[in-house]
Amino acid sequence: MSSESETYTSGTGIPCPICNKVFCKDVIEEHVNKCLFLNTSEHSRANKRTNSQVDISIGNAGPSSTKRSSPILNSAEKRLKPSTWALKSKECPEETFNRKDTHSEKKATQPLAETLRPVSLDDMVGQEQAFGQGSMIRSLLKQRKIPNMILWGPPGCGKTSLANIISNICKEQINTMRFVKLSATMSGINDVKEVVKVAKNEAQFKRQTILFMDEIHRFNKLQQDTFLPHVENGTITLIGATTENPSFSLNNALLSRCRVVVMEKLSVEDIMKILIKAIHRSKDTVIASSKKDIVNINVDSCPRCIIEEPSLRWLAEVCDGDARVALGALELALASRNADRDVAVSGPATLTLEDIKNGIKRSHVLYDRKGEEHYNIISALQKSIRASDDNAALYWTVRALHGGEDPLYIARRLVRAACEDIGLADQGALVEAVACYQGCQNIGMPECDVLLAQCAVRLARASKSREVYQAMKKCQQSLAETKGPLPPVPLHLRNAPTKLMKQLNYGKGYNLMHKNESGLTYMPEGMEDVTFFQPREDYEDD
């Protein structure tokens, strides 16, 4: 009797109807799904011809077996847990039982921010508006319904953590859902097509594919079109994560098929909860409310480090709402204090606020010189000048410089504000704004920072008049709405440098008098009574 029949009759395995290899009953269904998709008819015939030469029990590489590996079997084995792809320990290779140790070593080398990711919605900190109690997204996730979403928020606000939660939901519903994670920084169109190909096969067995595409804005508009038909027909459920404004970085067609979930920066209290959770998970570190409480801590448990609560709060305040930055800084600080320290001899280390300030400088401020934050800051600056808020105008100017903004760009916007918002109310403002721009060109950073600050405050304190700007907008609107050809310039306003032009009455009757005394009209024919300026008292009311 062959080894295949022996394995089957003994009840230890079930043969695959496609490749005739025997698998345990816990994994046969998953293997058949994989084999049905990948195995071609030619490959199946090749397997039948060589089946008698291949050992059919999983992991049983006896001395009489041919060392020939099947790509289908290898692919299936990679998806199986060590405890499920063999019935007895003697049927599994020895390295199988070492996978748990390998996983533990990998987890030990992971950053603290990665190991601390939430596993359920109840573990998620912050984002109450998007995923809090009573929100629509939370309700759908509780029902194990995953919608097409675009997660838009700054770095470290929880986009990838939410994807991790959805991944755990898919693991709980492994028979009906599968989760695939890709990053646009490392994947291309071919990877997406491969996911879609497998998703179509899984759909035949009523298994939904959830595709999480991190940094989706790095795909150009043409690449993003790849998702459209598959999101439209439900082959995949797309969850995209981006730090850029989806209105500018994503296709409108893709946005219409996905719900945009706006995620905000984490508050200081949210960051504090995350940091305290990280400390409590570590058995080597304890928290002291102040220096006085350090002496009262029970050191019988031999903590390696004692950290003051003000140190954690300082970290939470300087990380600019980025939990990843806060956890990374905490991990670095603890590692530096615990390195080569014998607790039994010298006692636990104390991480004070002064220590952490000396080791970690504030350098993380969210500002993208080419992204949305670039325009948000400049918009806030001009609106502060328009509202005559000199304090806010100074703040936004300094904040833009602190984030690395080009000083000439700020100077150009100040020149614009001098005309648009101040105008004729204080004509010296434009002169000073232009002088500020030229001064920034001549001396550069960092010396030109005071020029920009002074000009911003000067414009904010100046009298305001938008009379010219509003009149210009009305004139532009009038030209845009004109039907047919634009009216010609009146003959008496035309120049007559040649004899022919004079014979055509160019410039005839023109004089240098005031419009009320010259008897001439200076608007085109038919527009003599059109005015773009409002009565002056209306501007005074504004």
Predicted local distance difference test score (pLDDT) of residue 286: 76
22-23 and 305-308 strand pairing: unpaired
CA distances from 499 to 425, 491, 508 (A): 45, 15, 13
Residue 348 tokens read as: 């636990």
CA-derived radius of gyration, the chain: 35
- Answer for the pair 275, 315: CB distance below 8 angstroms, yes or no: yes
CA distances from 261 to 30, 133, 147, 153, 245 (A): 34, 15, 11, 8, 11
Q: Of 38, 78, 33, 37, whose CA–CA distance to 58 is shortest?
A: 78
Q: How confident is the model at residue 369 (pLDDT cuts 50, 70, 90)?
A: low
3-state secondary structure of 149: strand
**Are 256 and 155 members of one domain?**
yes
- pLDDT reading at 358 higher than 70: no
Q: What is the largest CA-CA distance in the chain?
A: 122
Predicted local distance difference test score (pLDDT) of residue 129: 84
- pLDDT reading at 397 higher than 90: yes
3-state secondary structure of 210: strand
Cα separation, 395 vs 356, whole angstroms:
27
- pLDDT reading at 218 higher than 60: yes
Q: Which of 22-36, 187-201, 270-284, 462-476 has the lowest mean pLDDT?
A: 22-36
Q: How confident is the model at residue 40 (pLDDT cuts 50, 70, 90)?
A: very low
User: What is the side-by-side order of every strand in the sheet holding 349-351?
Assistant: 285-288, 305-308, 349-351
Which H or E run includes 147?
none
- pLDDT reading at 354 higher than 80: no
The answer to whether position 484 is within a domain reads no
Burial of 477: CB neighbours in 10 Å, binned 0-12, 13-18, 19+? exposed
- pLDDT reading at 296 higher than 60: no
Cα separation, 205 vs 332, whole angstroms:
47
- pLDDT reading at 82 higher than 70: no
CATH code of the domain containing 248: 3.40.50.300
**Are 292 and 397 members of one domain?**
no
**Are 119 and 256 members of one domain?**
yes
**Are 437 and 343 members of one domain?**
no
3-state secondary structure of 307: strand
Cα separation, 273 vs 268, whole angstroms:
9
The answer to whether position 479 is within a domain reads no
Predicted local distance difference test score (pLDDT) of residue 46: 46
Predicted local distance difference test score (pLDDT) of residue 125: 86
pTM: 0.58
The answer to whether position 493 is within a domain reads no
Question: 67 or 127: whose pLDDT is higher?
Answer: 127
Ranked by mean pLDDT, the top range of 2-11, 117-126, 321-330, 458-467 is: 458-467
Q: Of 298, 311, 321, whose CA–CA distance to 354 is shortest?
A: 311
Cα separation, 210 vs 170, whole angstroms:
8
Q: How confident is the model at residue 83 (pLDDT cuts 50, 70, 90)?
A: very low
- pLDDT reading at 228 higher than 60: yes
Given 359, 384, 400, which residue is the final one in a domain?
359
Q: Of 346, 342, 152, whose CA–CA distance to 260 is shortest?
A: 152
Block residue for tokens 């960051």? 271
**Are 286 and 378 members of one domain?**
no
Question: 458 or 118: whose pLDDT is higher?
Answer: 458
Q: Which of 34-38, 250-254, 279-283 has the lowest mean pLDDT?
A: 34-38
Predicted local distance difference test score (pLDDT) of residue 282: 72
The answer to whether position 331 is within a domain reads yes
Mean pLDDT of 372-400: 90
- pLDDT reading at 293 higher than 60: no
CA distances from 247 to 47, 230, 372 (A): 52, 21, 10
The answer to whether position 468 is within a domain reads no
Residue 266 tokens read as: 């984490």
CATH code of the domain containing 299: 1.10.8
Which H or E run includes 285?
strand 285-288
The answer to whether position 118 is within a domain reads yes
**Are 388 and 442 members of one domain?**
yes
Predicted local distance difference test score (pLDDT) of residue 410: 93
- Answer for the pair 47, 70: CB distance below 8 angstroms, yes or no: yes
3-state secondary structure of 215: coil
Cα separation, 365 vs 515, whole angstroms:
58
**Are 89 and 184 members of one domain?**
no
Block residue for tokens 């058949």? 32
Cα separation, 22 vs 12, whole angstroms:
9
Percent of the chain whose predicted confidence (pLDDT) is above 90: 22
Name 407's Cβ contacts closer than 8 Å, sequence gap at least 6.
401, 440, 444, 445, 448, 449, 452
Domain that holds residue 439: 372-461
Cα separation, 244 vs 528, whole angstroms:
50
Burial of 228: CB neighbours in 10 Å, binned 0-12, 13-18, 19+? middle
Q: How confident is the model at residue 301 (pLDDT cuts 50, 70, 90)?
A: low
**Are 83 and 129 members of one domain?**
no
CA distances from 446 to 33, 268, 383, 450, 458 (A): 64, 31, 25, 9, 20
**Are 258 and 279 members of one domain?**
no
Q: Which of 2-11, 148-157, 241-250, 263-272 has the lowest mean pLDDT?
A: 2-11
Overall domain count for the chain: 4
Q: How confident is the model at residue 81 (pLDDT cuts 50, 70, 90)?
A: very low
Q: Of 39, 32, 111, whose CA–CA distance to 79 is shortest?
A: 32
The answer to whether position 488 is within a domain reads no
Mean pLDDT of 354-376: 63
Q: Which of 111-115, 148-152, 456-460, 490-494 has the lowest mean pLDDT?
A: 111-115
**Are 136 and 254 members of one domain?**
yes
Phi-psi region for residue 69, left (φ > 0), alpha (ψ -120 to 50) or beta? beta
Q: Taking each helix axis as running N to C, give the angle between helix 428-443 and helix 449-461, from 0 to 180 degrees, rounded to the nearest 10.
A: 170
Name 462's Cβ contacts closer than 8 Å, sequence gap at least 6.
422, 425, 426, 429
Q: Of 234, 250, 150, whose CA–CA distance to 199 is shortest?
A: 234
Name 327's Cβ contacts closer than 8 Å, sequence gap at least 6.
111, 112, 113, 116, 274, 275, 278
Q: What backbone torsions phi and psi does residue 371 show, to the nearest 5 degrees? A: -105, -165
**Are 164 and 218 members of one domain?**
yes
**Are 128 and 255 members of one domain?**
yes
Given 329, 359, 389, which residue is the final one in a domain?
359
- Answer for the pair 184, 215: CB distance below 8 angstroms, yes or no: yes
Q: What backbone torsions phi and psi does residue 82 show, to the nearest 5 degrees? A: -60, -30
Cα separation, 456 vs 440, whole angstroms:
13
Phi-psi region for residue 334, left (φ > 0), alpha (ψ -120 to 50) or beta? alpha
CATH code of the domain containing 449: 1.20.272.10
The answer to whether position 497 is within a domain reads no
Question: 297 or 431: whose pLDDT is higher?
Answer: 431
Given 99, 133, 162, which residue is the final one in a domain?
99
Predicted local distance difference test score (pLDDT) of residue 412: 94
Q: Which of 8-17, 39-48, 110-119, 436-445 has the lowest mean pLDDT?
A: 39-48
